């Protein structure tokens, strides 16, 4: 469970829910195969596809010190028809 940070709920991800696609921020070192197995076992669903991308880092400045914000890898999980994740149920 420590590899999945949290689900993402934005306007775009809510539109993706209609296509049976769910978006999560995951650990930087997570792979698509690991996430597919974890989602299938944890939520008891069938995964059709996994897409991932890494968000660009944002600069943070506190006085003279320049740093970067923490960033995660974002994965879009597409489920087989007939399956859904109860965490996002529309009912």
- The Cα–Cα gap between 9 and 37 comes to 22
Q: What is the pLDDT of residues 18-35, one digit of tens each?
A: 999 999 999 888 899 999
Mean of all residue pLDDT scores within the chain:
88
pTM confidence score: 0.80
CATH 1.10.8.60 applies to domain 4-82: no
83: left (phi over 0), alpha (psi -120 to 50) or beta: beta
Q: What is the pLDDT of residues 49-87, one digit of tens each?
A: 999 999 888 888 888 988 887 777 999 999 999 998 876
- The Cα–Cα gap between 84 and 44 comes to 9
Task: State residue 25's pLDDT score.
Answer: 92
Task: State residue 87's pLDDT score.
Answer: 67
Task: State residue 48's pLDDT score.
Answer: 96
């Amino acid at each position: 469970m420590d590899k999945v940070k949290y689900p993402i709920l934005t306007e775009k991800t809510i539109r993706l829910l209609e296509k049976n696609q769910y978006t999560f921020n995951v650990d930087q070192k997570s792979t698509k195969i690991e996430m597919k197995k974890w989602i299938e076992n944890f939520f008891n669903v069938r995964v059709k596809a996994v897409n991932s991308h890494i968000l660009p880092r944002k600069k943070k400045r506190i006085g003279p010190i320049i740093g970067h914000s923490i960033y995660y890898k974002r994965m879009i999980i597409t489920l087989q028809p007939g399956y859904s994740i109860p965490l996002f149920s529309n009912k």
